[in-house]
Homo-oligomer: A and B are copies of this chain.
Amino acid sequence: MRSSLKDVAARAGVSVRTVSNVVNGSASVSEKTRVRVQQALDELGYRPNLAARSLRAGRTGLIGLVIPEIHSPYFGELAGLLVEAAQRRSWTVIIDQTHGRADEERRLLKGTHAPIVDGLIISPWALDASELSKEAGSTPMVLLGERDPRQVADHVAVDNVLAADEATRHLVETGRRRIAAIGPQPELRNGTAEQRLTGYRQALRRAGLTPDPVLEVPVPTLHRTAGARAMEELLDRGGPAPDAVFAFSDELALGIMRTARDRGVRVPEDLAVVGFDDIEDGRFSNPSLTTVSPDKAQIAERALQCLADRVYSPGGGLKGTVPPQRITVPHRLVVRESSRPAEGGSRGAGS
């Protein structure tokens, strides 16, 4: 059995109050007793009981991270960064996956963990912001990469329109003309794909090109398989082949490159490819992948900052007095082999 404050107090011949003070440094304790108590603490291997502490404090020190899937490279990297940022603030992270399903998003917000976490960070796919905030009740919540017209919660995201515009412009500037967009997800309530589509079209128009619906290929998921399949579709449609693709995620892009290879389409000579997310695979793929790189560390840091602002402030709850924030995190375009102008072929390491 683990020893409690009472046990330690008995052993040190002081009251629990004093022991508590020593443990937390909450009030001044005479050096003599402090040493004695510390010794008893060590001897008994005292560890505070978190449940009791939470019950008292009304806070658990846990925050929930709700994402579509842990094993996806993008969310995996993000989750890792969030766990570390949380650690710095003495928070512990509970991770849950929704697989992008509405019922799971709903369940995780209200049912399973809402009562136990101090706050939530969620990357929603199926639910829109107002429904999310309804489910979350009064638990402070930060949305990742979600559009929220009515501003009901805090947001942290890159400027998706701008980023997609830059990616597309890069393709235009390297001489591409039939630029496809693989990644729109009409069924999702998440605005991300929509924003990237907007940026893509915007860049085309600015370059004097007309967006062609045939070149906009929707996908059911952002996985490699979906990318591979979408590319097959695109090639099978007949008509003039695309000479570039802007993929809404790196995973899609990797699937696209796989299909290209299977069909004898050379990347980047015949087809330039740009992805989004800057996952590690893309740095080592063959060819290496040009991509939009969001500052993930900053996403993690700012999201936690938002939560902290609410959890530790009096009127901080979601329905409290702290106004919802919209935080835009920087991104940059990383050019690698998959979109290099066709001069040196595909051989050779990227810089």
Residues of A participating in the B interface, judged by any CB pair closer than 8 Å: 2, 45, 47-52, 54-55, 60, 62, 69-73, 76-77, 79-80, 83-84, 87, 92-97, 112-116, 137-138, 224, 228, 254-255, 257-258, 261-262, 264, 280-281, 283-286, 347-349
Q: Which of A72, A113, A114 has the most CB of B within 10 A?
A: A72
Chain B hits for A95, CB < 8 A: 79, 83, 93, 95
What 7 A-B pairs are tightest by C-beta distance, nearest first? A51-B54, A76-B76, A71-B76, A47-B115, A70-B80, A50-B116, A51-B55
A44–chain B nearest beta-carbon distance, Å? 12
Residues of B within 8 A of A283 (CB): 224
> Which one, B70, B77, B264, contacts A79 given CB within 8 A?
B70
Whether B60 and A83, one on each chain, are in contact in the complex, defined by CB atoms closer than 8 angstroms, is no
Contacts of A93 in B (CB 8 A): 94-95
A83 partner, pick from B70, B255, B257, B280, beta carbons under 8 A = B70
* Beyond A83-B97, A281-B281, A285-B285, 19 additional pairs, beta carbon < 8 A: A2-B115, A47-B114, A49-B55, A49-B115, A52-B55, A70-B70, A70-B83, A71-B76, A73-B73, A73-B76, A83-B95, A87-B96, A92-B94, A94-B94, A224-B283, A254-B281, A255-B284, A262-B347, A286-B286
Task: Tell me the bound Cα distance from A262 to B284 in angstroms.
Answer: 11
Oligomeric state, in number of copies? Answer: 2
- Given that A80-B70, A224-B284 are contacting pairs, would A48 and B115 also be in contact in the complex, using a CB cutoff of 8 Å? yes
Partner of A97, one of B62, B69, B84, B254: B84
Q: What are 5 sample pairs from A and B whose C-beta atoms fall under 8 A apart?
A: A51-B51, A71-B76, A73-B76, A255-B284, A258-B284
- Quick one: given A262-B348, A280-B224, A349-B262, are A83 and B96 in contact (CB under 8 Å)? yes
Q: Are A264 and B51 in contact (CB under 8 A)?
A: no
Measured CB to CB, the nearest residue on chain B to A349 is B262
Whether B137 pairs with A112 at a CB distance below 8 angstroms is no
Asked whether A76 lies within 8 Å of B83 as measured between CB atoms, the reply is no
Q: In the complex, what distance in Å separates the CA atom of A69 from the CA atom of B78? A: 12
Asked whether, in the complex, the Cβ of B50 is within 8 Å of the Cβ of A115, the reply is yes
Residues of B within 8 A of A280 (CB): 71, 224
A47 / chain B contacts, CB cutoff of 8 Å: 114-115
Q: What residue of chain B has the Cβ atom nearest to residue A261's Cβ? A: B286
> Nearest Cβ distance between residue A336 and chain B, in whole angstroms?
12
Residues of B within 8 A of A54 (CB): 51
Across the two chains, which residue of chain B brings its CB closest to A223? B280
**Closest residue on chain B to residue A260 by CB atoms:** B286
CB-CB under 8 A from A73, the residues of chain B are 71, 73, 76
Contacts of A49 in B (CB 8 A): 55, 115
Q: Give CA–CA (A2, B349) in the complex, Å.
A: 58
CA A258 – CA B286 in complex, angstroms?
A: 7
Instruction: Say whether B60 contacts A71, CB under 8 Å.
Output: no
Which residues of the partner chain B approach A77 to less than 8 Å between Cβ atoms? 71
How far does the alpha carbon of A348 sit from the alpha carbon of B116 in the complex, in Å? 51
- Counting chain B CB atoms within 10 Å of each CB, which of A113, A284, A286 scores highest? A284
Closest to A346 in B: B261
Let me know if B80 and A97 touch, CB within 8 A. yes
How many whole Å from A136's CB to the nearest CB in chain B? 12
Cα distance A83–B286 in the bound complex, in angstroms:
32
